[in-house]
Amino acid sequence: MTEPLIFGAMVRTLGAHPAGWRHPGAHADPTDDAAILRRIARVAEAADLDYLFFGDWLATGPDLEFRDPYLLARIDPISAVLYLASVTERIGLIATVNTTYADPYATARATASLDLLTGGRGGVNLVTGAEPRAAGNHGRDAHADNAGRYDRAEEFVQVLRRLWESWDEGAWIADRDSGVLIDPDRLRPAAFEGAALRVEGPLNVARPPQGHLPLVHAGTSPRSRALAGSEADLALIAAPDIDAARIARAELRAAAAAAGRDPASVKVIAPVLPVVAETDAAARAVVDRLLQLVPLADRHGERTGFPSGRTLTGFLDAIELSVDHEARTARLDDVVTPGVVAQFGATGTRIVELVAQRTGRRAGADRDETALTWRHLVAAHAVPAAFVVGDAATIADHFESWRDAGAADGFNVLSAFQPGQFEAFATLAVPELRTRGLLGRSGATLRDRLGLGAPRLTYTTAVAAAS
């Protein structure tokens, strides 16, 4: 029997689509994130998803309003998972830590505490950072280069593993009669000194129930893939299609094998942005509404600081339509005619096809609700979300096809807006996924649910190698 896929919810309280917060009924106030986090966590646990995943970004600025509004103001990931530990009982909780700026001892302490407080449900996503502004926020002149960041990240993993292993099995004796609390021979220092990090230890938190929390990593550079292959339990990919995902999964498994690991021990996880409704047509209507809610402008310079890609002029430049073409005088809400579409190149034609597939709007349609407008094309081009649109069966077909093609071991589910779309996924798609045997893993800890087995005790290996 085929094992169920891994399903996690990638939590973005303002929604994963830049216009999601504008959708009627959507959460739009980060000062009330506590309430929406509780609601998401309870829905996810009731749906029997495997984990909640919290990303991170160490800076902010007004430019993010248009690009990624959910990054403008957000709860610290460690704080979020510790908060949700008290309102959940079974679901895994994965927090992101930036190894370029984080302190490894503090990270080991916080994550071991998370694992103890949740009975073995903690996980940690390690990133090296891509935001230059983060350097100034941490007292540095510049963001480290790729090689330097990954040198530190590799040492960071070693330190985490050694600190998590500070307390050996059986170290706590707690013999009231003899008055012996611990076996000091089973309390071990980290004793690590590398080029970037030096940590003494031991950790002043008891041994995590999982031994090692599951490690997550994402990236496309050779160093990133190598780190995922050698150390990650979950490797996150962002492949544009099923064939690219299948190749990426094969490469990550090969990297694991090259590092001396069982290739199957690396679980490859792909992101997915499902828009779910009772029918395919209703789901397309949701996407149609999202496209209409993307802030756009007709011409350059109409709003200070407005991205050029969010304008009709910018779109026409991108698809290389002649500067004297009649479309240059159009407005965003004008209908796009078949004659104009016939003059589009490959880029414009592809966007027309995507809009038709996701919203049902086509050039030349004779009804307002199905007529293609410039607004739809500009929004689809400016915000290239990889929607999977449809009813429960359509969404399940997508997951099933990726599994059958060997493209992924699981998925991080994004929601265009909260809570409506996440709850639609949970109430409509999840029962279909369970019926098909695609969802429904089990296990007392997150490691168990992910099928990871016992962790590799690297501290013992390191000590043996040095002796």
User: Among 42-46, 136-140, 203-207, which stretch is predicted with the lowest mean pLDDT?
Assistant: 136-140
Residue 339, token pair as written in the block: 């004659």
pLDDT on residue 282? 98
Q: How does residue 463 score in pLDDT terms, banded at 50, 70 and 90?
A: very low
Domain shared by 107 and 219, yes or no: yes
Q: Tell me whether residue 192 is in a domain.
A: yes
Beta strands in 99-206 (DSSP E): 122-127, 172-175, 180-182, 192-193, 198-199
The answer on whether 183 is annotated among ligand-binding residues is no
Domain shared by 431 and 325, yes or no: no
Q: What is the mean pLDDT of the chain?
A: 94
Q: Tell me whether residue 285 is in a domain.
A: no
Q: How does residue 13 score in pLDDT terms, banded at 50, 70 and 90?
A: very high
Examine the pLDDT at 446 and tell me if it is beyond 80.
Answer: yes
The answer on whether 221 is annotated among ligand-binding residues is yes
Q: Which one of 358, 382, 406 terminates a domain?
A: 382
The DSSP string of 312-370 is: HHHHHHHTT--TTSGGGG--TTSBPPHHHHTT--HHHHHHHHHHHHHH--BTT-SSTTT
How far is the first Cα of the chain from the last one, in angstroms, to the nearest whole number?
Answer: 46
Domain shared by 357 and 413, yes or no: no
Q: Tell me whether residue 286 is in a domain.
A: no
User: CA 195 to CA 144: how far, in whole Å?
Assistant: 14
Domain total in the chain: 2
Q: Which one of 382, 414, 439 terminates a domain?
A: 382
Q: 100, 152 in Cβ contact below 8 A?
A: yes
The 10s digit of each residue's pLDDT in 350-407 is 999 999 999 999 998 878 889 999 999 999 999 988 899 999 999 999 999 999 999 9
CATH number of the domain that residue 136 is part of: 3.20.20.30
Q: Tell me whether residue 17 is in a domain.
A: yes
Domain shared by 50 and 35, yes or no: yes
Domain shared by 345 and 437, yes or no: no
The residues, ordered by sequence, that sit 6+ positions from 431 with a Cβ below 8 Å of its Cβ are 392
pLDDT on residue 465? 47
Q: Tell me whether residue 457 is in a domain.
A: no
Q: Looking at the chain, how many residues does it have?
A: 467
Domain shared by 15 and 71, yes or no: yes
Domain shared by 50 and 154, yes or no: yes
User: CA 457 to CA 186: how far, in whole Å?
Assistant: 14
Examine the pLDDT at 226 and tell me if it is beyond 90.
Answer: yes
User: Among 48-62, 204-218, 374-388, 448-462, which stretch is predicted with the lowest mean pLDDT?
Assistant: 448-462
The answer on whether 150 is annotated among ligand-binding residues is yes
Domain carrying residue 300: 295-382
Q: Tell me whether residue 459 is in a domain.
A: no
Q: Tell me whether residue 464 is in a domain.
A: no
The answer on whether 83 is annotated among ligand-binding residues is no
Domain shared by 265 and 307, yes or no: no
User: Which of 61-70, 228-237, 310-319, 368-377 is most confident?
Assistant: 228-237
Domain shared by 335 and 444, yes or no: no
Q: How does residue 213 score in pLDDT terms, banded at 50, 70 and 90?
A: very high
pLDDT on residue 326? 84
Backbone angles phi, psi at 303, to 5 degrees: -135, 130
Domain shared by 238 and 362, yes or no: no
Domain shared by 10 and 40, yes or no: yes
The 10s digit of each residue's pLDDT in 161-183 is 999 999 998 999 999 999 999 99
Q: Which one of 355, 382, 409 terminates a domain?
A: 382
Q: Tell me whether residue 421 is in a domain.
A: yes
Examine the pLDDT at 301 and tell me if it is beyond 70.
Answer: no
The 10s digit of each residue's pLDDT in 67-122 is 899 999 999 999 999 999 999 999 999 999 999 999 999 999 999 999 999 999 99
pLDDT on residue 460? 55
Domain shared by 180 and 250, yes or no: yes
Q: 416, 290 in Cβ contact below 8 A?
A: yes
